[in-house]
Chains A and B, each alone.
Chain A
Amino acid sequence: MEAGGLHSFERVTMETNYSTVLRGFIVENFLFGDDTGLDQNASFLESGIVDSTGMLEIISFLEATFHITIEDDELIPGNFDCLVKLNAFLARKLNGNPIKAMSRKS
């Protein structure tokens, strides 16, 4: 099925799913299960939640989980520096084909 064929309701559900996946990854991997105080808008770099090796982990995770390739010029804080930005970036990136991306994960 082509992404263009999705109803908007289904698209929202899909986005909610991967934002949950993203949040889960950040909480498990960088906060060791404790999500108290994790603000959707908190800058990863400013707050120290993620450091340089952590950024590499996020990038590898995204590429492996969602089967995307992240281009060099996309690696800017505007795309990665908090959960909201990360979600938005992923939404843009997957806009072409979210179903394929999510289904291939499983």
Chain B
Amino acid sequence: MCGIAGKVRLTEAGGLDPRLMEAMLGMLRHRGPDECGMYVDDRAMLGQTRLSIIGIRGGVQPIHNEDETLWIVYNGEIFNYIELRETLIRAGHRFYTNTDTEVILHLFEEKGPACLGELNGQFAFAIWDSRRRRLFIARDRVGIRPLHYTVRDGSLIFASEIKAVFADRSVPRELDPAALHHVFTFWSPLPGETPFTGVRELEPGHYMVLSGGRMTVTKYWDIPFSDNGEGENACAGELAEELRSLILDAIRIRLRSDVPVGCYLSGGLDSSAIASLLVKHFDAGVMTFGIRFEDKRFDEGAYQDLMVSELGTRHTGLEATNGMIGEAFPAVLWHCERPLLRTAPVPLFLLSRLVHDRGYKVVLTGEGADEVFGGYNIFRETKARHFIARKPQSPFRRLILRKLYPYIFTEAREQTMMQSFFSRDLDSLADPLSSHRIRWQNTGRSRMFFSGGLQRAHDAGEDARQLQSLLPPGFETWDPLARAQYVEMRIFLSNYLLSSQGDRVAMAHSLELRMPYLDYRIVEFMGRAPARLKIRGLREKYLMKRAVGGDVPKAISSRPKHPYRAPVGNSLLHPGASAMIRDLLSADALKRKGLFDAGKVTKLCGKLAARPGSEVENMAIAGIASTQIIHDQFITGFPGRETSPLRPDLLVDRRTSPTG
């Protein structure tokens, strides 16, 4: 896994300075501490920092084709590179490394953009065709690896992380009010956006071509749901069998590595199933890692212990205390590069440090299972609300809500109240986005803390149009579950889960995550599977449990879903928390930055210091603190962390008149 960066002139030649690339690579050192390299000619400059995992020797990038006309910088892994390489060799391609990087390059030579259809992996890469003066940039299907860009002074500037784009000091840095409104509503910026004005992300499943001064962005893959016509009569047993072999193969090819591969183990079904299949079929001696919490409401340690004794893995646990979470919050934000409404990324950041210290560069994780197999409560809630809406007056139907949220309805006295809460807006179920409306409305309450200026800087009416533009043709005809899954994956999966709880917090400590459940063959398979087999009654991930549930103890497969979360108010306002949080939440700092209403935020802090507060209040305090910190680290005080330029181990200089 690695970091990549580049600057490419749109039309005119010249003016590319390798010292700029050294500064950009310095910002990406954590992504690839092993080696780094650079290519520069009159029109393009590419750089890469490398974390060596496959083809350790001789894999320094940029890598070129036979006649050195094509140059690639690449961040990621292609898990089927062995098979692709054999085919390419038979077609006459000559390789000078053992890397998957070179496989992509020759496949691109062979097929152009259509090469993407054959890659099974997680990647972002850029290929410069120096003869045709054409740049090709692509990102993996679901968006596991990041890629950001901006256009400035006749150049395209791109990088794995925004901080490397900002290393070019000619790029203006300011927060985008629309993106802030989106984070405080949808939990993340909307696809394509970043928190910074003018800086975009290349969306998952898209590629960009830059040629003749023109930039075109094309979608090559989308999350493949349909109206479920084809799978409706499928037999559950056969589908489960097929799914099981897909999961096994997804794990098998994700073990391809020249360094040892570990495994995350949370104690939940998803990671437990992977660890179990790993031990039984591939690597009995695997090392596992898990998070524990000081605050027992969040802790799954007992289930981790159960799995460890069941599998006999060598396990290391990290206990995340409230103070540690508050202490590391600013460092995490430097890596995540966006405001966060949660602190859940922090323990994962602490865990990756521990894994790195144990000498591991690669781990498998269970990420993506809830999205792909139908595990989230919001999906069950969607199903329940449609069930109630068919006969809204039936008190019997409303009892289903008690089954859905046993932990909310434990407060017996509140039941009537909560039932009316969850069955509100039943008449709006025709709205194609109904699954997520309540969540967005609730989260949007946190915008009450915005300053008047920030409130007015964005027209919320614009959001409806933007959301509509995200929906694929035929979306309205899909079943409610598929619609909810699509919205969840399109808006939240890549932009938050795979980023702030995935790539960024792992790469912060040079750790590569591999996610078998997000193998595109599994995503496509589940896109075809009938809704009734994804969630049966209200039993979530039914098909997945039939496929691999038998591989874990019943105590794991039948335990109620425990969403991975971390304490917010108790961490950020903890005495051991970073002083930066306290300083930036002071009335002075709030007024100075002008983004939030200092009076209201002060009251909120007071309330949360005295009692736990509601979910929205906790999201709000995380969002406010993180926005203030992001503003400090990326706008007023950039760079918010110590960085230094990185001298390349390999420099390919093809400029006709070097001026640097």
Which residues does A use to contact B, with CB under 8 Å?
A: 28-29, 31-34, 45-46, 48-49, 51-57, 72, 75-77, 80
Contacts and interface: CB of A to CB of B under 8 A. Distances in A.
B600 A34 contact: yes
**Majority secondary structure, A binding face:** helix
Nearest to A29: B607
B396 interface: no
Contacts of B442: 48, 51
Nearest to A75: B413
Interface residues on B, range: 20 to 34
B448 A52 contact: no
A1 B445 CA distance: 45
A34 B448 contact: yes
Nearest to A50: B614
Contact of B417 (A33, A34, A80): A80
Interface string B364-377: 00000000000000
A55 B412 CA distance: 13
A33 B603 contact: yes
Contacts of B408: 52
A48 B421 CA distance: 10
A49 B412 CA distance: 22
Interface in B427-477: 441-442, 444-445, 448-449
Contacts of A46: 424
Given A45-B420, A48-B442, A32 B413 contact: no
Contacts of A53: 612-615
Contacts of A54: 614
B615 to A, nearest CB: 7
Given A75-B414, A77-B417, A45 B612 contact: no
Contacts of B444: 48
B418 interface: yes
Nearest to A28: B603
Contact of B412 (A32, A51, A72, A76): A72
Contacts of A80: 417
A46 B442 CA distance: 10
Nearest to B607: A29
B411 interface: yes
B414 to A, nearest CB: 6
Contacts of B603: 28, 32-33
Contact of A51 (B416, B601, B615): B615
Listed residue (A32, A34, A49) with the most chain B CB atoms within 10 angstroms of its CB: A32
A70 B658 CA distance: 81
Nearest to B413: A72
Nearest to A80: B417
Given A32-B597, A75-B414, 5 more contacts: A33-B599, A45-B417, A53-B615, A72-B413, A77-B416
Listed residue (A45, A46, A48, A56) with the most chain B CB atoms within 10 angstroms of its CB: A48
B417 A75 contact: yes
A65 B424 CA distance: 30
Contacts of B441: 48
